[in-house]
Structure 1
């Protein structure tokens, strides 16, 4: 009945426009596009938490689809103060904490992370970054780590993750 209500409220009536129809008959006549839209609405959810910095662009902190959580890349902004500490070590800690906060808001944690992508602005800091990173992602998920020319706010690192619920 939830699917029927969603589709009727959304204006996706298919060929059945009788407002008195209910149950199996109405459900059988719902259009395929309505079914796909309803399934997508039920499966996709934006993640928002005050325990990670607000997005600094037109994107969300993270997204849940199916049984997966995707975080946006997290730069090392302290969500409580908006400050960015200096140094790769401090920044790596903050970026990882921000990712974990989004995962927690989604209902999962670091032990369920499948893959991360890490961006660093200086590959000479790779070792220091790894020492911090391994404290947070102890299950050793798949990972890509690349040097980039520049990151938002001129930070040293950014971390994103994909995890299971």
Structure 2
């Protein structure tokens, strides 16, 4: 019987895959890092995913390998055409980078992102990094947790985004 639930919670690295075309809300949780290949499996398993929350404080192990593959353009880009709400508040900075670097992820337009200000500042290299500009330009709204204020410099990096 097809899985008819609208949500799938606390998926870990042990997730076997499968097709869940009715699921639109997904949460990922593990005490071990999620690598790029895991996100490819999630992409294929939840083709109509609209909401994603990641809870994982562990840094990715294959980050340097991914970077070298990215330089060679052999890395598969993860596509999330229906994703409208991404919560990375409880995620290690590596996952913020995973979702914002355009050679790793192609985000949908009109995305709402929740993330810590310091994580966003680091990943975007103080809001100057070119490889994060494409996905950051797709943000409809941005909830910057623990931001002391939104400077003009930050607003210029997200020109069409509602920041709060």
Normalising by structure 1, what TM-score?
0.33
Q: Looking at secondary structure, tell me which structure has more strand per residue.
A: 2
Does 1 or 2 have the higher relative contact order (CA < 8 Å, sep 6+)?
A: 1
